[in-house]
Amino acid sequence: MTVRVPVGVPANLKSPLFVSAAEAASPATSVTCSVTSLRTGASITPTASAFDDGTTTAVTGRYVATLPAYPMPDILTVAWVGTVDAATVTLTDTVRVVGSHYATVPEITGSANLVNKPLVSHARVAELRDAFASIASEYIGESMTLEYDVATVNPCRSLLLPHPACTLVTVADADDTDVLIDWTVNGIGLLRSETSTSNAPYSFAYDHGWNQPDRLRQACVEWVSSVIMRTDGGSARDVIWQAPDGGARYSTPDWDAGRPTGMLDVDNVLNELRSQFGANEHIA
């Protein structure tokens, strides 16, 4: 799953699991971390990686490095290189730098459902928060915070990007005959050019998102806490039908029925935002 970190805040990056063929933790050899920006192609230097459990033996097989505060939305490729079974292994992750999170970890762990569950892992909360952001963005048809993406499409003088709230950053084609000034983009993500002539695919890099993260703050808190309650044996599920004998039917995710998460209050928020901001709703 893609990790999401906010603009302007240093972030701890955790490596994928380094394990040997015998499934033991990797030896305590140096593991390096490198970061490359999709937006600029530049390399970003994180702090030196260390073992994530505070030991000197890498008991968990995972490592951490700190990404310096990043100034703009981007997609970063994070490469971890280390030694497993005397062989060099490279493991990669993707990190999205976004305008902001929909909710902070303390906001979620301090919610009514979780306030009395002190053993909830902050790493698990952050992972679920990122999962909710992905669900919300896909269902609404647009992110509610600023993000960066690249779309490569076949030649055409008029085409629709997959996100409506777009600002072009760069335009490129194989012949470099078209530049940013040749293209315009309107409020539904529709690109137009009166001068494009290239027969090669175009690559459009753009920022997008409605930058209203607070609209999803409470929904994010409720969804994450509900998932944790459910998998921990709690009962944070919505009943959509109750029989006289006490039987019940619970709400489950069903995108076609307008229930992307199965949590009715959360789905009501997502449906409202989809109607107001979603890409599909803005196509005439």
The three-state (H, E, C) secondary structure of the chain, written as one string: CCEEEECCCCEEEECCCCECCCCCECCCCCCEEEEEECCCCCEECCCCCEECCCCCCCCCCCEEEEECCCCCCEEEEEEEEEEECCEEEEEEEEEEEECCCCCCHHHHHCCCCCCCCCCCCHHHHHHHHHHHHHHHHHHHCCCCCCEEEEEEECCCCEEECCCCCEEEEEEEECCCCCCHHHEEECCCCEEEECCCCCCCCEEEEEEECCCCHHHHHHHHHHHHHHHHHHHCCCCCCCEEEECCCCCEEECCCEHHHCECCCCHHHHHHHHHHHHHHCCHHHCC
The whole-chain average pLDDT of the chain stands at 82
Confidence of residue 191 (pLDDT cuts 50, 70, 90): confident
Res. 241 pLDDT band, cuts 50 70 90:
very low
Residue 185's pLDDT is what? 87
Say yes or no to pLDDT of 237 above 70: no
> What pLDDT digit, counting tens, does each position of 35-49 carry?
999 999 999 988 866
Average pLDDT over residues 52-61: 57
Q: Would you state the pLDDT for residue 120?
A: 78
Residue in the block written with tokens 């971390």: 33
Q: What is the pLDDT of residues 103-133, one digit of tens each?
A: 999 999 888 777 777 677 888 899 999 999 9
Instruction: Tell me the pTM.
Output: 0.82
Instruction: State percent of the chain over pLDDT 90.
Output: 38
Largest CA distance in the chain: 72
Confidence band, pLDDT 50/70/90 cuts, at residue 250? low
Domains and CATH numbers, the chain: 3-98 (2.60.40.1220), 147-208 (no CATH)
> Residue 275: its pLDDT value, please?
92
**What per-residue confidence (pLDDT) applies to 262?**
87
pLDDT band at 282, cuts 50/70/90? very low
Express as a percent the part of the chain with pLDDT over 70.
80
Instruction: Tally Cβ neighbours within 10 Å of residue 129.
Output: 21
Residue 30 has pLDDT above 80, yes or no: no
What pLDDT was estimated at residue 251? 63
User: What is the predicted pLDDT for the residue at 249?
Assistant: 54
User: Given this model, what pLDDT does residue 281 score?
Assistant: 47
| Residue of 13 and 59 predicted with greater confidence | 13
| pLDDT for residue 244 is more than 70 | no
Give pLDDT, residue 57. 52
Residue 55 has pLDDT above 70, yes or no: no
